[in-house]
A and B are shown apart, each in its own frame.
Chain A
Amino acid sequence: MENVLEVSALTGGYQRSRPVLHGVSFSVKPHEIVGLIGLNGAGKSTTIKHVLGLMEPHDGAVHIKGRTMDEDMEAYRSSLAYIPETPLLYEELTLWEHLELTAMAYGIDEKTFGERAEGLLKEFRMEKMVKWFPSHFSKGMRQKVMIMCAFLVNPDLYVADEPFVGLDPLGIRSFLDHMKEMKEKGCGILMSTHILATAEKYCDRFILLHEGRIVVQGTMEELRTQLDLPDADLDDIYVAVTEEGRHG
């Protein structure tokens, strides 16, 4: 099956003279949640920015559904939804207007939008706040708005950057359930997080980034074999990999 996301030999960063990523290659298939894991400053956010098409690769390429951003900007962007680490809301738009605007921008027809919006509002328990402005939202509610906007689009690829921060336990549960549902429908999901226990439970594969390079990637089993740590959980693997990086 064709990969939803294909990152091949990507070298990139803000400055050409000082690349942050060095030859990073990985892919996300349909029906798959991939965890992007690494210390602060490992290059997770830079990787995500390249996937979103906000940065140009110095070398290598990023394909979503077989297309690069240059080939067809509108199709590339239509195929992905982004859940940022810090919620990015428009202070002058109500919750409902955030949803409506997102649906408009992604070309979703009005009827489908209405149905999906109703469902999401109910699921994330935000029905009462549809006319509120973001200044009245808590951190968790803001994050829920971002998550609802992403699910509203219903794209082939989801990119989530630390999506759990600030969410209440019920919110985390709704989010994860929804992720699973999308995965079963055939979406690919790339998720960066520090909450390793949750990642271990929900992700199918992992990419461990360290200092701009992929140290190991694969399923839990593959990671254990590669590192020769038969009973390790993701926490142990994470520590082992970063320790190794420090000494090496």
Chain B
Amino acid sequence: MGNVQELWQKRRADYWEMAVRYLRLIANSGFLFTLYLLFIFGSYYYGEFLMWLPEDFPTVWVFIVLFTWLVTRGRVRTFVREADLVYLPPLESRMKPYFRSSILYSWMMETFWLALPLLVLAPLFFHRLSDSGALLLTILVMLSLLKLWNLASGFEEQRFQENSRVTGHTLIRTVLNVSAVTAMFTFQPVWILGGLAVLLAVLYAFYFNRLNRTHAVKWDRLARIEDSTVMTFYRIANSFTDVPRLKMSIRPRRYLNALLQAVPYRQKNTYLYMFSRSFVRSNDYFGIFVRLTLLGALFLYVVTLSWGLWLIGALFIYMTAIQLKTLRGHYKTSQMIDLYPVALRYRDEAHQKLVRVLLSFQVIVFMLFAGAVHNWNDGLIIGAAGFLLAFFYDRLSRKREVRTAGA
């Protein structure tokens, strides 16, 4: 391995090659259309929302809390893999350029993730805090610099062995970030901001930057951080397409065990037993289902037009159905399931049954909610449309699948 810089370039290229492939799939999926729709609805109600917002709404605090969180969170993308635990530690003393590239790259990406919410919140900023665009831009630049400091210091932090010390340092950074972000959004004079900047720079130069003299890089932690970042990306991509490399993380959700008991002990129910447990515990099928249900209810609450209500109801039921469809392929890589002496057709039947139960539950929630908040006519229409979708959705989509398979 001649050049660590080359290695870094290659790792980044590999990652983006993979990411672009998935991003293209996401862009081509029908989900983007629903996003446009939500965007249009969203921007219309955004203006209304600003007007409606009470005078004493703590706008500054919203900005401070949000941006403190955004600045503090986030780790350096090192592209370190598990196998590197074997190969790279011997090179550690020569790895400096590699890590510097990682920090700069992360800085670029994270600045984008700072700019995006700031842009979204810009109307609120202009409406309540100040109407100066130059000021907003200055704040963005300062936030970005603060982010760089956080990334550089945060990278040195990971050298500690004990998790408690890492958390302790993150807490210290959080306190410093709160002060800096508060100073920015309350428009403190330049000398205060400058003083803070000097303080942070000194802290980095004489403390964080010296940690490497006594503490080696903790490779397994780097690999873990990197792994969880990639998994987050996979999990998002998995909502749109099948990601085979997605490792499952399990949440027991024991409080739902009583519901799982509803599947009776019978050979025919083998697959329903599995699907229902996978739905509740793995890959966040359950989380997505709950979020879509709550989000749908929220939209039903805000929207007042009758046809808007119908559309929102149907849209969210449809989106939920798409998400639940991925559950069908959940055992594609399992070998044991193929050995069970239970006919394959029961597997599809079990999936269908579970999806219908779940969608019906959502339809009832939407129906009662819209009925109670608006009027019962709209509630009943949402209910009728929803049940039709819940029971015939899979018939439409299966035909489409066959057609694409034949093409």
Residues of A in contact with B (beta carbons under 8 Å apart): 52-54, 73-78, 80, 82, 84, 88, 90-93, 97, 100-101, 104-107, 110, 133, 135
Question: A90-B334, A92-B282, A135-B250 given as contacts; is B339 within 8 A of A82 (CB)?
Answer: yes
Q: How far is the CB of A88 from chain B (nearest CB, A)?
A: 5
Chain B interface residue count, Cβ-Cβ cutoff 8 angstroms: 23
- B281 on the interface (CB 8 Å rule)? yes
CB neighbours of A53 from chain B (8 A): 339
CB neighbours of B266 from chain A (8 A): 104
Question: A73-B341, A92-B281, A135-B250 given as contacts; is B335 within 8 A of A104 (CB)?
Answer: no
- B252 on the interface (CB 8 Å rule)? yes
- B278 on the interface (CB 8 Å rule)? yes
Q: Give the complex CA separation of A100 and B277 in angstroms.
A: 13
Are B335 and A75 touching (Cβ within 8 A)? no
- B267 on the interface (CB 8 Å rule)? yes
8 nearest interchain CB pairs? A77-B341, A105-B340, A92-B282, A92-B281, A78-B341, A107-B267, A105-B270, A74-B341
Q: Give the complex CA separation of A74 and B248 in angstroms.
A: 30
- B349 on the interface (CB 8 Å rule)? no
Q: Could you tell me which residues of chain B, from 311 to 361, have a CB within 8 Å of some CB in chain A?
A: 334-336, 338-343
Complex: chain A residue closest to B260, CB-CB: A97
Q: Give the complex CA separation of A105 and B350 in angstroms.
A: 13
Question: A54-B335, A92-B250 given as contacts; is B277 within 8 A of A106 (CB)?
Answer: no
CB neighbours of B229 from chain A (8 A): none
Are A97 and B270 touching (Cβ within 8 A)? no
Q: When A and B form their complex, what is the total count of cross-chain residue pairs whose Cβ atoms lie within 8 Å?
A: 66
CB neighbours of A135 from chain B (8 A): 250
Residues of B in contact with A (beta carbons under 8 Å apart): 248, 250, 252, 265-267, 269-270, 273-274, 277-278, 281-282, 334-336, 338-343
CB neighbours of B267 from chain A (8 A): 104-107
Known: A52-B339, A101-B270, A105-B267. 13 other contacts (CB 8 A): A74-B341, A77-B341, A78-B341, A82-B339, A84-B336, A90-B278, A90-B336, A91-B248, A100-B273, A101-B274, A104-B269, A105-B341, A133-B252
Are B341 and A93 touching (Cβ within 8 A)? no
Are A88 and B334 touching (Cβ within 8 A)? yes
CB neighbours of A90 from chain B (8 A): 274, 277-278, 334, 336
Q: Give the complex CA separation of A73 and B269 in angstroms.
A: 18
CB neighbours of B336 from chain A (8 A): 82, 84, 88, 90
Q: Give the complex CA separation of A128 and B20 in angstroms.
A: 46
Q: How far is the CB of A201 from chain B (nearest CB, A)?
A: 29
Are A74 and B343 touching (Cβ within 8 A)? yes
Q: How far is the CB of A116 from chain B (nearest CB, A)?
A: 14
Question: A73-B341, A104-B265 given as contacts; is B335 within 8 A of A133 (CB)?
Answer: no
Q: How far is the CB of A152 from chain B (nearest CB, A)?
A: 13
Complex: chain B residue closest to A84, CB-CB: B335
Complex: chain A residue closest to B251, CB-CB: A92
Q: Give the complex CA separation of A196 and B248 in angstroms.
A: 37
